[in-house]
Structure 1
Amino acid sequence: MASLPNRKIAAAVVREDGEQKQRLLDRAFALAFKGLVYAQIWEDPVVDMEALAIKPGNRIATIASGGCNVFSYLTADPAEIIAVDLNTAHVALNNLKRVAIQRLPDHGSLHRFFADADNEANIADYRAFVRPHLDETSRRYWEGRDLIGRRRINGFAHGLYKRGLLGSFIGLAHLVARIHRIDPREFLAAKTIEEQRAIFEAKFAPFFDRKFIRWITDQRSSLFGLGIPPAQYDALADGKPMADVLRARLAKLTCDFPLEDNYFAWQAFGRGYGKGAAASLPPYLQADNYDAVRARAERVTMLHANMTDMLAAADAASFDRYIFLDAQDWMSDAQLTALWSEVTRTARPGARVLFRTAAEPSLLPGRLSDDLLKRWDYRAADSLDYTRRDRSAIYGGVHLYILKD
């Protein structure tokens, strides 16, 4: 029998009305999603904060994932952030981040712990400063062992961003590339946008024309390592060969943003953040934000819960901002209606909702009732601009809705 956490994930992703093969793939994804998936979140927090226009005193409801954005939102001075996640490993990671931000002695130790994440000194700091203040469930997780017997906390001594489902997927992609005589790390030597484009066109674009790559990426299970379930795979492909879709998304990641300003590219090609004081980092790890993030970390509440259930238990008109990441790509029409009914009930005047989709258009028209959807103003032009400027480059669309007066 599946564990409780896995049942929650299965309830979110398994399409029980689908064909048997479809249900089997959905259940396989639910099993893969049970462990740590994202050591780093793959939504751009700079775009998020511009779209959300967070104001002091706002209450925020968000899906947590790897937590980088949760703690980055603190730089905008919200009153409270309720972060939820169905994945117990993500809950443990966010709890670890909150305590580490509060308890590590200075910015240097915080930077070493989460930006470098590859130093034995982090384990000593964990024992001295973090462990005594960590909740028991999270402590058991980090001091437990993964599937191959490694203590999870030791990931911070040997390269956290090489672990988890996504980290392993990127490692496998690097291996496949090297087998085809392509070294992804060569991209990190680029000094200009022009050099980045030249490397992409010469090295990476032809890679997606190889028969093996086209065959493997046509399998719905091939993108489990990106945290993409079968239902989202179909939305991402949108009737096109997946190799072509992935090539287009990689082109944006490699060619549209300067490498020195894009830590997502460093994660993809270097399997970690860049080194040195000038390295691109999420806002919560930047030195200029350290004091504010540390002082406000107690405003984050982390829950192992479904977003809809959390909102159903909340008071009416009690939230100002909502962030759903790409979770709605997984949802049925009934689940979408339940979620947006609770969002509309709990939204304060001027509330904003931000989410991403694998495909380009918003998925809400035609799936929510007109009575529910007409309560919200879709900012189409702004959404296109946010999509263009999202440095992670994974998603087809970034979408902003604002509650009408």
Structure 2
Amino acid sequence: MVRKSAGMGGKLLDHAFAFAFRGLVYAQIWEDPEVDMEALQIRPDSRMIAIASGGCNVLSYLVAGPAAITAVDLNTAHIALNKLKLASARHLPDHAHFRRFFAEADSKANIRAYREHLAPHLDDATRRYWEGRDLMFRRRIGGFRSGIYKRGLLGGFIGAAHLLARLYRIDLKAILAAESIEDQRRVFEEELAPVFDRKFVRWLTDQPASLFGLGIPPAQFEALAGDQPMAEVLRRRLEKLACDFEINDNYFAWQAFSRGYGKGADCPLPPYLKEANWEKVRDRAQRVNVVHANMTEHLRAQPDASLDRYVLLDAQDWMTDAQLNDLWREITRTARPGSRVLFRTAAEPSLLPGRVEDALLSRWTYHEAPSADFTRRDRSSIYGGVHLYELA
């Protein structure tokens, strides 16, 4: 069983992971924005900073009406995707165009909409990205004609999971036809769970590189697995995704089991794609500033007490103690009274105690019971913990 990635082998894994993360990773972000907004308690005067990733949550936070959001990311593909989504919210003619572009994302009409409504409003770097070609020589904007959620590192991982399931004569889409929570559990236990007992699957999932597509680097792999076979961990996470929430209220399940959002008018969607939120997202899109930067470095350039909502996703799982302390030093310096910080971890506990200096961490209150509740209700189901800290 593979656990530690030490020496030359570990360095090679780290380099392989870094290389994999150079391109598009997440066409859709895998953190539940409704949980986020409840935890953050966004106010009209909130000034937020968030890791951008696929942009779904940044745009969804606009529904809550903050004063400003800075979306930062080191991945140029994610920067380009965020800018495309914001331009789409501002310049596509109506919600029908917006929904077709990002909820369906598989129409030739999207390419025409890009040329007519979006390309003229993009900066040169963003336009070059979308009109350029990926490693398979496909024009990147073509993903919105053929299914953007099938692309990127995560899209490829989910596609590989579907292929592996078919080899075992399992149809992952079957669960989407379930008519009740009880029916969902039956499908999971009869059709999905047994695959994790297959010897090949157990061997494959114990290889750290096999989970790069989930955005899990070698260090995070070890934290997620602990002393258990990774197949058991993944079985429990998939069980939560498949069984703990109604399929018709969980767009993460649709992404996992159908490689996209549903086509029907009543299929679940992220908040930013819902018709009821269209005008809010469109009117507030100019409040988002997308920055190609490291979170800590960007915070270092901000004034004291200038921000009050921080969304770190799971980035801290990748950090050394020195990097964690640098980050929290800048968060604490830039935080206004009552500031809130939200992040996720692969393992269940918060990773901050014992790693961030007491002088820093003691200024923050950890909301333990609400964090456990947010973890339970996060429909993406892939994280061990959702954690909320508030400036004491």
TM-score range, shorter chain: over 0.9
SS of the residue corresponding to residue 44 of structure 2 reads coil
SS of the residue corresponding to residue 195 of structure 2 reads helix
Please name the residue that 1:37 is paired with.
25
Q: Is 1:264 aligned to residue 252 of structure 2? A: yes
Q: Is 1:20 aligned to residue 8 of structure 2? A: yes
Q: 1 CA distance for matches of 2:360 and 2:94?
A: 47
Q: 2 CA distance for matches of 1:291 and 1:300?
A: 15
Instruction: State the Cα distance separating 1:19 from its structure 2 match.
Output: 2.3
SS of the residue corresponding to residue 205 of structure 1 reads helix
Matches within 5 A, 1:121-200: 121-200=109-188
SS of the residue corresponding to residue 389 of structure 2 reads strand
Matches within 5 A, 1:305-324: 305-324=293-312
Q: 1 CA distance for matches of 2:231 and 2:363?
A: 38
Equivalent residue for 2:189, pick from 183, 201, 205: 201
What is the TM-score normalised by the length of structure 2? 0.98
Please name the residue that 1:224 is paired with.
212
Residue type of the partner of 2:171?
Answer: D
Matches within 5 A, 1:294-333: 294-333=282-321
Q: Once superposed, what is the RMSD of the aligned Cα atoms?
A: 1.1
Q: Is 1:382 aligned to residue 370 of structure 2? A: yes
Q: Is 1:273 aligned to residue 250 of structure 2? A: no
Please name the residue that 1:248 is paired with.
236
Q: Is 1:369 aligned to residue 346 of structure 2? A: no
What are the Cα deviations for residues 191-234 of structure 1, in whole angstroms up to 9, with x where unaligned? Answer: 11111000000011111010000001011111001111101101
Equivalent residue for 2:101, pick from 80, 98, 113: 113
After the TM superposition, list the runs of 4 or more consecutive aligned residues in structure 1 that deviate by more than 3 angstroms: none
Q: 1 CA distance for matches of 2:235 and 2:226?
A: 14
Residue type of the partner of 1:247?
Answer: R
Instruction: State the Cα distance separating 1:20 from its structure 2 match.
Output: 2.0
Instruction: State the Cα distance separating 1:23 from its structure 2 match.
Output: 1.3
What are the Cα deviations for residues 34-64 of structure 1, in whole angstroms up to 9, with x where unaligned? Answer: 0000000000000000000000011001000
Q: 2 CA distance for matches of 1:201 and 1:234?
A: 27
Please name the residue that 2:274 is paired with.
286
What is the TM-score normalised by the length of structure 1? 0.95
SS of the residue corresponding to residue 60 of structure 1 reads strand
Q: Is 1:65 aligned to residue 53 of structure 2? A: yes
Structure 2 gap segments, 5+ residues each: none
SS of the residue corresponding to residue 303 of structure 1 reads strand
Equivalent residue for 2:72, pick from 84, 94, 105: 84
- Count matched residues: 389
Q: How many percent of aligned residue pairs carry the same amino acid?
A: 66
Q: 2 CA distance for matches of 1:144 and 1:45?
A: 31
Structure 1 gap segments, 5+ residues each: 1-16
Instruction: State the Cα distance separating 1:18 from its structure 2 match.
Output: 5.8
Q: 2 CA distance for matches of 1:282 and 1:384?
A: 22
Q: Is 1:350 aligned to residue 338 of structure 2? A: yes
SS of the residue corresponding to residue 387 of structure 2 reads strand
Q: Is 1:103 aligned to residue 94 of structure 2? A: no
Residue type of the partner of 1:109?
Answer: H
Deviates more, 1:18-27 or 1:204-213: 18-27
Q: 1 CA distance for matches of 2:8 and 2:358?
A: 33
